[in-house]
Amino acid sequence: MLGQLKELKRLRQMKKQMEEVSHTEEYDGVRITLNGAMEVLNVEIDDPNHPKLTKNLRKCFNRSMRSIQKKMMENMGGLSSMLGG
């Protein structure tokens, strides 16, 4: 039981660390900010009537996902120490 509580505490700490990492990506008038938990924090659109808005949103979101994943992998050294690694 005590081990499970310690594990739960460790997982909550990891989640908090992941939420503190953020990245903003911009693509052709669209800006998206994600955190390390892959949550969208902010979306900004310069021209909502842009003819390629859907395409630009998709590209910006995908680029953001790749960037935050890379950033999280770089931070895994700190996170793995929390896991006992």
What mean pLDDT do residues 79-83 have? 52
> Burial code of 6-42, b = ≥16 C-beta within 10 A, e = fewer?
eeeeeeeebeebbeebebebebeebebbbbbbeeeee
pLDDT tier at 79 (50, 70, 90 boundaries)? low
**Domains by residue range for the chain, with CATH:** 2-82 (3.30.1310.10)
Q: What is the pLDDT of residues 59-78, one digit of tens each?
A: 999 999 999 988 888 877 65
The residue with greater pLDDT, 18 or 46, is 46
Type of residue numbered 66: R
> Whole-model pTM?
0.73
Judge whether residue 80 has pLDDT over 70: no
Return left, alpha or beta for 30; rule: phi > 0 is left, psi -120 to 50 is alpha, else beta.
beta
